[in-house]
C-alpha cells in the first residue's frame, strides 16, 4: 500500500497554481452578456437639461447585460464597475427587443439625473433636469413582434444612477431591462 506524502514539491505546486490563478483573475477583465450597447459621452460643459446642446469631448461604447447602473449612488455596474465619468456625461441606448405577448406594458425608469425614453420613435416619458434617484413609470401598448427603444440619460454632478425595468400590466412582475421573460425577449 502506497502512502501519500505532502512534500515540498506538492506544496510549491499548489502555491504556484494559486498565484497563477490570482494573477489571471486580476488581468482578465470582467465581462457580461453583451445585450445592450451603451455609448457614454463626456460633455465639455456642465449639463443641466437633457435637451441642451451636446459638446462632446470623448465617448466610449460599453456592452452591458442589464440597465441596472445605480450601485453605491454612482453610475456603476455591479460586475463591470464604474462606467461613466466623474460628471457631466450622457449615456445613450438604442436597443431592439421582441414582444412575445401583445398588451399594455409599463417601463420603470429610475434616474439621477434626467432621461428621455422612446419606443418605436414615440416618446413615452422624460425627466429633463437634475434630481435624486427617482422612478417614473411610462405606459405603452405593444403589439407582438419586433420593437426598438431609445433611452438617453444625463448625469450632471453629484450622485448618479440609472435603472430600467418593465412589466406586462396583466401580470405586474417587474424584470430588469436585459432580463428575458415570457413577455419580452432581448437579443443576446
Work out the burial of residue 165: count CB atoms within 10 Å of its CB; fewer than 13 is exposed, 13-18 middle, 19 or more buried. Answer: buried
Single pTM value for the model:
0.84
For residue 103, the cross-strand partners are 142
Task: Output 144 or 17, whichever has higher pLDDT.
Answer: 144
131 three-state secondary structure: coil
The predicted-structure confidence for 35-68, as pLDDT tens digits, reads as follows 999 999 999 999 999 999 999 999 999 999 999 9
DSSP string, 102-129: -EEEEEEEEEES-EEEEETTEEEEEE-S
Distance, in Å, from the CA atom of 16 to the CA atom of 20, rounded to the nearest integer, reads 6
Residue 74 has pLDDT above 60, yes or no: yes
β strands within the chain, DSSP E: 36-43, 56-64, 68-69, 76-77, 81-82, 89-99, 103-112, 115-119, 122-127, 134-142, 145-155, 161-168, 175-176, 184-186
Of the candidates 82, 92, 95, 110, which has an alpha carbon nearest to the alpha carbon of residue 50? 92
**Mean pLDDT over the full length of the chain:** 91
pLDDT of residue 181: 97
| DSSP strand pairing (56-64 vs 36-43) | antiparallel
Confidence (pLDDT) at 48 = 94
All domains of the chain in start order, with CATH: 34-186 (2.60.120.1560)
Amino acid at each position: 500500500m502506497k502512502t501519500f506524502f505532502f512534500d515540498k514539491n506538492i506544496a510549491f505546486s499548489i502555491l504556484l497554481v494559486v498565484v497563477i490563478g490570482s494573477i489571471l483573475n486580476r488581468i482578465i477583465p470582467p465581462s457580461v452578456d453583451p445585450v445592450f450597447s451603451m455609448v457614454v459621452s463626456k460633455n465639455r460643459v456642465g449639463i443641466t437639461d437633457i435637451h441642451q446642446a451636446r459638446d462632446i469631448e470623448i465617448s466610449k461604447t460599453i456592452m452591458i447585460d442589464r440597465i441596472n447602473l445605480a450601485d453605491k449612488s454612482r453610475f456603476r455596474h455591479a460586475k463591470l464597475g464604474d462606467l461613466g465619468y466623474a460628471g457631466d456625461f450622457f449615456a445613450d441606448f438604442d436597443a431592439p427587443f421582441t414582444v412575445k405577448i401583445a398588451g399594455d406594458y409599463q417601463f420603470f425608469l429610475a434616474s439621477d439625473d434626467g432621461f428621455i425614453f422612446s419606443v418605436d420613435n414615440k416618446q413615452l416619458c422624460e425627466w429633463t433636469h437634475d434630481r435624486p434617484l427617482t422612478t417614473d413609470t411610462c405606459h405603452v401598448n405593444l403589439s407582438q413582434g419586433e420593437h426598438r427603444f431609445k433611452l438617453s440619460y444625463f448625469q450632471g454632478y453629484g450622485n448618479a444612477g440609472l435603472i430600467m425595468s418593465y412589466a406586462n400590466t396583466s401580470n405586474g412582475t417587474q424584470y430588469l431591462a436585459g432580463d428575458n421573460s415570457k413577455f419580452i425577449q432581448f437579443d443576446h
